[in-house]
Every structure is written in structure tokens, then in C-alpha cells.
Structure 1
Amino acid sequence: MSAACRQAEILLKQYGHPPTNRIRSQQDFAAIYEARQRAGDQNLLLFAIRNSLGHSRLGVSVSKKNGNAVLRARKKRLLREAFRLIRHRLPTNLDLIAIPRPDVDGDLKAYQQSFQRLTRKLDQRLPAVERP
């Protein structure tokens, strides 16, 4: 294996978005919504709860108000990519649901800034996880 391939593999592992960083189950979504801890700005609305996994996870919810299936899929990809790129700069142990604002066509940089600002706000507001 060449040095360039090894370096690419290391970067992929460092900045990857494995399935363990995703929220998919309806029970997880319901628990996050029930906690009623949210923060928003002009681009994004974030719901959050603490987890005890040692890393943050992301779920994305894009309603039909955001446009047709192609536009909704684009917003989902942008949100996941923004989270993936700045995950190492965000607070850990958070389960997040990101909901893009329907009247704003956010770009990658705007979503990254929103994630950083809103996760800091939610991290200060949420109680710490009790360890057994």
C-alpha cells in the first residue's frame, strides 16, 4: 500500500461518518423530541439530549415544506456532511436531530456555523449524564 493510500485511509477514518454516529430508530427520535431541549437560528433547528456513548450522533428530519424529494435529499446530504466535517469540534455525548429551515437554502458553511453555535448553546443547557 502506498503512502498516499495510507494517508487517505487515515483521513477517512478520522473524518468518516460511520453508522454508529447516526440516529435512525423511531424510539431515539421520540426520546429526543420528548426532552424538549432545542435551539435554533436562521438556518437550522436542533433538538438534543445527552447520551453515554462517548461520541455525538446525528439524526436528520427534512419535511416536505423543504421542497420535492431531490431538494430534501440535498439538504440531508449537506447536513450530514456539515456534521461530519466539524464533529471533532463539537461537544461530545449529544444525540442531535437537525431540522433545516424550509425558507432558507443553506449551504455547507452556514450549516457548519449553525452546528457549532447551537450545539454549544445546547451543551450548556443540558444536564450531565449520570454514570452508574
Structure 2
Amino acid sequence: MKQFGHPPANRIRSQQDFAAVYNARQRAGDQNLLLFAIRNQLDHSRLGVSVSRKNGNAIRRARKKRLLREAFRLVRHQMPSNLDIIAIPRPTEEGDLQAYQKSLLRLARKLDQRLPAPERL
């Protein structure tokens, strides 16, 4: 596997996984992003992206999704492992790749400290 690849195993897609992350009610935010997170039983973190219509038309929403996935792909090796993360971009900020990278790292580390330690089998 490539070091900087973004395979389907690193994505949250199912409605049940999204619901589980939202129901955990662990969130952190800044001017660019709002992150929700929960521990998973995997050895890597996964990302889900939710961009509402408040962020603009379909073209702008798709661009924010692409930027968030790319930011996650680039900083994934620096982020805490064992997290399922849902990223929601703020509608008031346009956001760029570097801002999303910094926000993802900082907020994921903050949530990692807040969440209970992973259970070892």
C-alpha cells in the first residue's frame, strides 16, 4: 500500500457508522471545521465528510469534500490512530488545504485525549 494513498478502508460510508459517531457526542471545532469522533477497533483512522447545503451550491460542496479528503490523506500518518472522524466544514469559511490540514491535526489530537483509551484484547 502506498504511504499516502486513501483506500476505501479509510472512509466512513455507512449510515450506521455515521450514526454511531454522532451518537457518541464527542466533538471539537474551530473556525474551519467541526469534528465528531469515536474510537474504532481498527489500527487506523477513518474519515467521513458531511457538507450541508449551507456551504453553497453543489460545486462548492464538492470542492470542500475534495479538500477535506486530500487534507486527511496528507496528514493521516501524523494523526492519532483508532478514530472514526466525521469532518464538517464551517459554512462561513472558504477554507484551503493548509487550513484544513492544521485543523484536522489539532482537533483530532484534542479528541484523542478526550476519548477513553482503546481497549486492548
Q: Same fold (TM over 0.5)?
A: yes
In the alignment, the residues of structure 1 paired with residue 111 and residue 14 of structure 2 have an alpha-carbon distance, to the nearest angstrom, of 22
1:18 corresponds in structure 2 to 7
Shift of 1:101: 0.0
**Which segments of structure 1 move beyond 4 Å, counting only runs of 4 or more?**
none
Q: Indicate whether 1:76 and 2:78 are aligned.
A: no
SS in 1 for 2:112: helix
2:20 corresponds in structure 1 to 31
**Which of 31, 34, 46 pairs up with 1:45?**
34
1:1-132 to structure 2, matched below 5 A, reads 13-132=2-121
SS in 1 for 2:3: helix
Give the unaligned 5+ runs of structure 2.
none
TM-score where L is the length of structure 1: 0.90
Q: Determine which structure has more spread, i.e. the larger CA radius of gyration.
A: 1
In the alignment, the residues of structure 2 paired with residue 113 and residue 131 of structure 1 have an alpha-carbon distance, to the nearest angstrom, of 30
Cα root mean square deviation, aligned: 0.9
Shift of 1:34: 0.2
Q: Residue 125 of structure 1 aligns to which amino acid in structure 2?
A: R
TM-score where L is the length of structure 2: 0.98
Question: Which structure carries more helix by proportion?
Answer: 1
Shift of 1:52: 1.2
Aligned length: 121
